Amino acid sequence: MVLRFCLFLFTCTTVAFPASAEQYLVKSQAEYFAAEKKLRAGDKIILANGIWRDFEIKFSGQGTKSKPITLMAQDVGRVIISGQSNLRIGGKHMLVAGLVFKNGYSPTGEVISFRRSKQDLASFSRVTEVVIDHFNKPDRFESDYWVGMYGRHNRFDHNHLVGKSNKGVTFAVRLDSQESQDNRHRIDHNYFGPRPVLGSNGGETLRIGTSKYSMFNSNTVVENNYFDRCDGEVEIISSKSGGNIYRGNVFYESSGTLTLRHGDGNLVENNIFFGNAKDHTGGIRVINQDQTIRNNYMEGLRGTGFSSALTVMNGVPNSPVNRYVQVNRAIIENNSVVDSARITFNAGADKERSAPPTNSRFAQNLLSGSGDGTFIKIQDDVSGISFVDNIITAGTVEKPVAGIPKQKLVLKRAENGLLYPVGSAIGASRDLRPVTREQVGVSWYPKSPSGDRFGIGQSIAVDPGEDSLTDAFAAAKEGDRLVLSAGEYVVNKILPLDKAVSIEGPAEETAKITFARPSFLEIQEGGSLRLVNIAIDGVLAPDSVGNAVIRTTSFPMQSNFLIHLDGVSVINLDVNKSFHVIALGKSSFADRISIKNSNFSNISGSVLQAAAETEDYGQYNAEYIDVSNSNFKDIGGAAFNIYRGGRDESTFGPHFSLTGSNFWNVGKGGNNANGASMVLHGVQHSDISDNNFLDNAPIKIVHTVGRPQTRISGNKSSKTPAPILEELNYQGAHRAILSANQFEGAAKP
């Protein structure tokens, strides 16, 4: 791509264009707008290298096919658009190349818009080799798009979009006027870099259309893009229009699915899904009419339910446009699904979604589950699907289906990196060539590394004493480990954490931290924390409202964070009535909070408060909460208070796991309004197993929408009532699975 772009630069600095074409090298916004007014076919505006702050670029004109009008960087990667900036493109045959949007956000609803105004839509225009990097609005729940595509015949290719963490789809193709329908856009060879879990609806990476215009064809081609860890929400791509082609894309470790949510006649072919056994990695979800899904390859996917490798939904009879149109005339053939958790037919079947697929064909698919258990679920009538010449080689079908016979096949990895059956042509074709990270985006801007942020820096020894930890912390850099020796550390300031830092004590002796402010540490933008072998004593903390050892900043946070506690003991948080260990505030979101081998005692509040999103919009504070091999004694509040309210079904989390831990006298403080030892409200996956409960308030679990999965097993208790289980939306007995527990009295329904 360097080469391609250099060639491009070369042509524009030579006389390859007619003498009438102007070239404007502009160094200020005033110069830019003066030049922009004069643009004619073949002209170029070159932005001088440097940082352009608060630059709302409008770029419109009448280019021609052979003489586009160009906006480009003097040198690729050296023109940075920052602050409150955006780009609006209008006119015809406009070309934008080589800009980097970072360190800022758009003051409007889009960073790049393919329309200059409602009247001036772009057509035959192209954006290429542009970077948008963490260009997020400060408030994570204030919505925008990074790219809004309007008009017709536009192309967006070889761009690099990474780190959208506020609400709103990364890339939206809009069909909201006739001039934007049947648009023939092309979206290709882009690097869609990691999109972190949003913790709400509105975290899609690509959406084409909306339910309102879903009866119109978009006819957009999405091909050879790389979706790298696009985890925003359950839909990676939400296709809400007709006639689109999704071809040759790679979905790498992305939680969610390519969903044919609304609209008919879409083609999904030659796509590759690599899950690498990550949670909720899915494939393709089929709804509506005349969808063709062929020659796709899925490996290592772990999604189930609506996020299965292949999900064929039940529809709603005479469905309104915003619900689920019955699957009709679907063709699903020559796909390979290997080492994957689930394929689901008739997904979502219920009283409303009672229309099973009709006139459909499922043929010559290679089907191989990740284990011996149920791989193919059939949740209603499949007689409207003809099953022809499929083979299942591992796992079982829930109900016998003629046309999916079990047959042992040996799978062997071919040179293209994909698994194929030895001696059989079933499944995806052998000529698939997954697009690579190197073939997408730009070559001159680094793609996101994977791996652990902790431990990439230096190890720094810190001696005991007053303020020694404070000083070392102030000097710490990203990934540093502060290594404490045995002794006492007094901290007189709240430590502001805006990077990944580990604080580690010795395994055999004790490094004890006391702190003289309402918190020991505050997680701010960019912060993540790892505490290992540390003792924390709240004895010096003042009596102020909202004390917490670890809290989040009161400002909205854009970046998700991690908190890992291993071998940590926390005592004496009792100076007031609700002194917490960890308190997550509004608009803060943890990717994971893990607590293991740790001890908590004499605490008036909670160990974890993750219940700040109380508006019932389906928002919450933490995706994964894992607790193991830990002890909780004399905790006045609910040890864990986790809240996700509302009826939205767009998220996988929260997830909660609690194993091998002991609870004594938890949740019985006079100030605990919940009256529970832990409250899991709207948690989607809960596993509470092999714990001991002695003299505690009950566990309270409230199921809201969707398919919440709760397992409570192998727990022992004394003087602890059975769990309080509630269903808010589901009619019938509580769906939690309880087994081999000893609680006092039966579980309440």
Using CB under 5 A, list all residues that contact Ca ion: 201, 235, 650
Rank residues 441 and 654 by Cβ distance to Ca ion and give the closer one: 654
From 581, 568, 635, 570, select the one nearest 608 (Cα to Cα). Answer: 581
Rank residues 106 and 650 by Cβ distance to Ca ion and give the closer one: 650
Q: Where are the alpha helices (DSSP H) in 395-479?
A: 468-475
| Peptide bond just before 400 cis, omega within 30 deg | no
- In whole angstroms, the minimum distance from the beta carbon of 13 to Ca ion comes to 45
Rank residues 427 and 682 by Cβ distance to Ca ion and give the closer one: 682
Rank residues 36 and 233 by Cβ distance to Ca ion and give the closer one: 233
| Cα–Cα dist 667/633, whole Å | 10
Token pair of 546, please? 């909202």
- In whole angstroms, the minimum distance from the beta carbon of 146 to Ca ion comes to 16
Q: How many CB atoms lie within 10 A of CB 506?
A: 15
- In whole angstroms, the minimum distance from the beta carbon of 306 to Ca ion comes to 11
In which element (H, E) is residue 583 found?
Answer: strand 580-583
DSSP letter for 183, please.
-
- In whole angstroms, the minimum distance from the beta carbon of 204 to Ca ion comes to 5
- In whole angstroms, the minimum distance from the beta carbon of 201 to Ca ion comes to 5
CA count, 13 A, side-chain hemisphere, 280: 24
Q: Judge whether 291 and 266 are in contact, CB under 8 Å.
A: yes
Q: Judge whether 113 and 150 are in contact, CB under 8 Å.
A: yes
- In whole angstroms, the minimum distance from the beta carbon of 240 to Ca ion comes to 10
- 3-state SS of 478-522 is CCCEEEECCEEEEECCCEEECCEEEEECCCCCCEEEEECCCCCEE
From 652, 644, 544, 637, select the one nearest 203 (Cα to Cα). Answer: 652
From 209, 249, 252, 262, select the one nearest 231 (Cα to Cα). Answer: 252
Rank residues 201 and 659 by Cβ distance to Ca ion and give the closer one: 201
Q: Beta strands 160-162 and 608-610: pairing type? A: unpaired
- In whole angstroms, the minimum distance from the beta carbon of 648 to Ca ion comes to 9
| Cα–Cα dist 252/347, whole Å | 24
- In whole angstroms, the minimum distance from the beta carbon of 265 to Ca ion comes to 22
Rank residues 235 and 522 by Cβ distance to Ca ion and give the closer one: 235
**Nearest-10 Cα torsion for 299, 305, 307, 313:** 110
Token pair of 548, please? 């917490």
| Cα–Cα dist 578/177, whole Å | 54
Q: Judge whether 192 and 205 are in contact, CB under 8 Å.
A: yes
* Residue at 301: amino acid letter: L
- In whole angstroms, the minimum distance from the beta carbon of 207 to Ca ion comes to 8
In which element (H, E) is residue 596 found?
Answer: strand 590-596
| Cα–Cα dist 420/111, whole Å | 43
Rank residues 109 and 457 by Cβ distance to Ca ion and give the closer one: 109
| Position with the least CB separation from Ca ion | 650
Rank residues 199 and 636 by Cβ distance to Ca ion and give the closer one: 199
DSSP letter for 152, please.
B
Rank residues 201 and 364 by Cβ distance to Ca ion and give the closer one: 201
| Cα–Cα dist 264/243, whole Å | 7
- In whole angstroms, the minimum distance from the beta carbon of 348 to Ca ion comes to 15
Q: Judge whether 204 and 228 are in contact, CB under 8 Å.
A: no
Rank residues 256 and 427 by Cβ distance to Ca ion and give the closer one: 256
Token pair of 375, please? 């791989």
Rank residues 238 and 578 by Cβ distance to Ca ion and give the closer one: 238
- In whole angstroms, the minimum distance from the beta carbon of 233 to Ca ion comes to 5
Rank residues 124 and 652 by Cβ distance to Ca ion and give the closer one: 652
- In whole angstroms, the minimum distance from the beta carbon of 231 to Ca ion comes to 13
